[in-house]
Amino acid sequence: MVRLPYTTALTTLFSYGLLFAFGQLRDFFRRLIDWFKAKNVKGYAPICLGLEDFYVRRLYLRIQDCFGRPIASAPDAWFDVVERYSNDSNKTLQRTTNTTRCLNLGSYNYLGFAAADEYCTPLVIESLKKYSPSTCSVRVDGGTTKLHAELEELVARFVGKPAAILFGMGYVTNSAIIPCLVGKGGLIISDSLNHNSIVNGARGSGATVRVFQHNSPAHLEEVLREQIAGGQPRTHRPWKKIIVIVEGIYSMEGELCKLPEIIAVCKKYKAYTYLDEAHSIGAVGQSGRGVCELLGVDPADVDIMMGTFTKSFGSCGGYIAASKEIIQHLKLSCPAHLYATSMSPPAVQQVISAIKVILGEDGSNRGAQKLARIRENSNFFRAELKKMGFEVLGNNDSPVMPIMLYNPAKIPAFSRECLRQKVAVVTVAFPATPLLLARARICISASHTREDLIKALDVISRVGDLVGIKYFPAEPPKIAEADHDKLE
């Protein structure tokens, strides 16, 4: 959990206040000029209006070159970033034919499967020739191939559940599934920092939604006790069902869920558990089976397990793994299964091949090596950033590590300077994070070599000094063993 220092909070608020004041002043003069030019012509009401439009025009557009940078290669450890320019003060950006080779610290390519792989790529090409790029149909019509059935069985076996179902998009896996599991008369208790796909799914369900403090089993128990005692609004009838939704690794914090404690609370109050493993499946655990394996939780204690194929497996889509009864219910009722085009067969084959590599079923130990490397890389990089004095969120073993920036001026300064030194990073600001808690989110991959990480640390350290985001004192450099011996 971020504990924002008072001085940092004050300077950040002052910066936003300054931007807001000057933005409002410019808007006032613009309206004044437009009033003299206005003609008495009736038109449509503006679609974009209010503070959101103000934020986009006066804050976001000034730094939009830091977001949505197009790339011109596979998202491997290094990739090609397309250069852009603007002739209208960043209101629009034009692509050039030039690219810059940059170290990739932004992609979710946790195990390195997003680039060409000696085992996966030939099988994907073969499936493309056999099945074509798309099934051009939904799952319940002609959109189920042998590959889809094989992957559902493989996913269920991999995560330790009786059955699984596939979806073509990770975001939709949450937003379309949750309304099928709980509705009016039900209660959803959601972690305060859950992903937007969970938030939208909960809102669309019609169920009552309550929020508990981030990663706090004690507050979860307090909310459960209060809601069970009070019952449904107005009628005070017992809830039809209660579902607690958490994430394995929180994507903007890099924190591991306190799953054992949350499971214990849910069992005590007879609430179902829904676990989103988008960022943890394949990336953590001795054999890549996610936070259940890492934290010693029996998958049978988690009622619904959700995950995506876009991070560790180098593909697209998502899955739900649960009991056979739940999966059958979803196959008969979920719009994302009934009406959306099924996963592309080559994308399905990519996941099958990646899981087989992780499990060692490709005849090699590359999967174990990748898992060991992502752990080593993540823990090394996190430890070094902290030694330098950066405020880094998250836990050990997590490949997601946010570096806190706070001040709005430091967002573009950090991003642009890193890019100038050929390190591509992702910066995140409002509305993806609270207004005062802007950050740079680093994603580590098994494809990064130790030399890559040392280069990245050197660049980030220099840029951190330049921008002023080392909020803690750096550790003094340790004397090398050989020099220490000489001194003695």
pLDDT recorded at residue 98: 96
Answer for the pair 193, 253: CB distance below 8 angstroms, yes or no: yes
Tell me the mean pLDDT in the region 430-459: 95
At residue 42, does pLDDT exceed 80? Answer: no
Mean pLDDT of 58-68: 93
Q: What is the pLDDT of residue 484?
A: 44
Residue 122 CA to residue 136 CA, distance in Å, equals: 23
The overall longest dimension of the chain from CA atoms, in Å, is 89
Mean pLDDT across 302-310: 97
> How far apart (Å, rounded) are the C-alpha atoms in residues 132 and 57?
43
Domains of the chain: 6-104+368-467 (3.90.1150.10), 133-359 (3.40.640.10)
pLDDT score at 30: 84
Confidence of residue 481 (pLDDT cuts 50, 70, 90): very low
CB–CB of 102/118 below 8 Å?
A: no
Residue 428 DSSP SS3: strand
439, β-bridge pairs: 404, 428
Report the first-to-last Cα separation within the chain, whole angstroms.
Answer: 44
Within 10 angstroms of residue 464's Cβ, the number of other Cβ atoms is: 24
Q: How confident is the model at residue 486 (pLDDT cuts 50, 70, 90)?
A: very low
Distance in angstroms (rounded) separating the CA atoms of residues 417 and 462: 10
Distance CA 149, CA 168 (A): 14
Average predicted confidence (pLDDT) for the chain: 93
User: Which own/partner contact pairs does 126-133 have at CB distance under 8 Å and 24+ positions apart?
Assistant: 126/349, 127/345, 127/346, 127/348, 127/349, 128/345, 128/346, 130/345, 131/345, 131/346, 132/345, 133/344, 133/345, 133/346
Confidence of residue 479 (pLDDT cuts 50, 70, 90): very low
Q: Do 354 and 314 contact (CB within 8 A), yes or no?
A: yes
- What would the mean pLDDT of 375-390 be, rounded to a whole number? 96
Specify the higher pLDDT residue, 153 or 477.
Answer: 153
Read off the pLDDT of residues 144-192 as tens digits, 9 standing for 90 and up. Answer: 999 999 999 999 999 999 999 999 999 999 999 999 999 999 999 999 9
pLDDT at 485 over 60: no
What is the secondary structure of 96-113 as a DSSP string? EEEEEEEEE-SS--TTST
pLDDT at 1: 64
pLDDT of residue 465: 95
For the cut 50, the answer to whether the pLDDT of residue 410 exceeds it is yes
Residue 48 has pLDDT above 90, yes or no: no
pLDDT digits (tens, 9 = 90+) for 248-301: 999 999 999 999 999 999 999 999 999 999 999 999 999 999 999 999 999 999
Q: What 3-state DSSP class applies to 437?
A: coil
Residue 31: predicted pLDDT: 82
Predicted local distance difference test score (pLDDT) of residue 155: 98
User: Average pLDDT in the 60-64 region?
Assistant: 93
Q: Encode pLDDT of 79-112 as tens digits.
A: 999 999 999 989 999 999 999 999 999 999 999 9
Phi, psi of 122 (to 5 degrees): -60, -35
The pLDDT, as a whole number, for residue 40 is: 53
What is the rounded CA–CA span in Å between residue 472 and residue 476? Answer: 12
- pLDDT recorded at residue 487: 41
